[in-house]
Amino acid sequence: MSRISVRGFAVASATAVTTVGAVVGVATGNAAQATSDDNFEAAAADSTLLADIPAGAQAQVQVASLAEQADVQAAAADATVRKNAEEAARFKAAEDAEAKKKAADEKAEQEKKEREEKEAREKAEAERASRDSVRDASSFSAQGSYSISEVKAIARQMIPASQFQCFSNIVDHESGWNYRATNPSSGAYGLVQALPGTKMSSAGADWQSNPATQIKWGLSYMNGRYGSPCGAWSFWQANRWY
């Protein structure tokens, strides 16, 4: 039955009842009966309002409402999933960046360490090669006298190249490369001004006249006390003696 037929049926029914009530009321003269009929007509009219929405339509409205709620909940769930995924992606990206930075720092530190070790090995090898190439004092033939250039030439052959300049700086200040230099106040003697001069006898009995013997003793003294002629020169610069 359609909405129009329901409404028509209800109105027709209400009209018929009203008509019968009116006839009965007139015949009996009962005013209360007329009032009762009016109430019935109002109830019939209300019934047409309830019939305006069919039962099937009411069910469809309820289904549509549930579907809309489900869509809203699904959208909210999708948004939460996306937000969580984005946060996880940001966290992962930050974690990866930190890991890459750490790896790069460790690599740089390792490369620096390896470079320093390589340089140290090369330096040690160069010094060892330099030491191997130097001559011992005993390999020089004794002479009656020596010029400054001859004494320096002997020193260059006895002292490692990396240490020669430091050794030369000390000798320049101490004796001016005079292997017979004597300090009148202290008694220090020779190229490196050993005090007393007799200390140099440990390097050779000819310490007074042989610059090679003096150089040998001076180099041993600098290495033993300061680690090297350059170590002795650093100390000399700070204290004006060694």
Per residue in 90-102, pLDDT (tens digit) is: 889 998 898 989 9
| Greater model confidence, 121 or 146 | 146
pLDDT of residue 151: 98
Of 150, 148, 140, 160, residue with least CA distance to 213? 140
Here the tokens at position 186 are 């202290």
Mean pLDDT of 199-221: 97
| Secondary structure class of 228 (helix, strand, coil) | coil
Of 212, 213, 234, residue with least CA distance to 222? 234
Unique residue bearing structure tokens 């690599």: 107
Of 116, 216, 214, residue with least CA distance to 158? 216
Asked if residue 66 has pLDDT above 70, the reply is yes
Of 201, 183, 202, 200, residue with least CA distance to 241? 183
pTM of the entire predicted model: 0.49
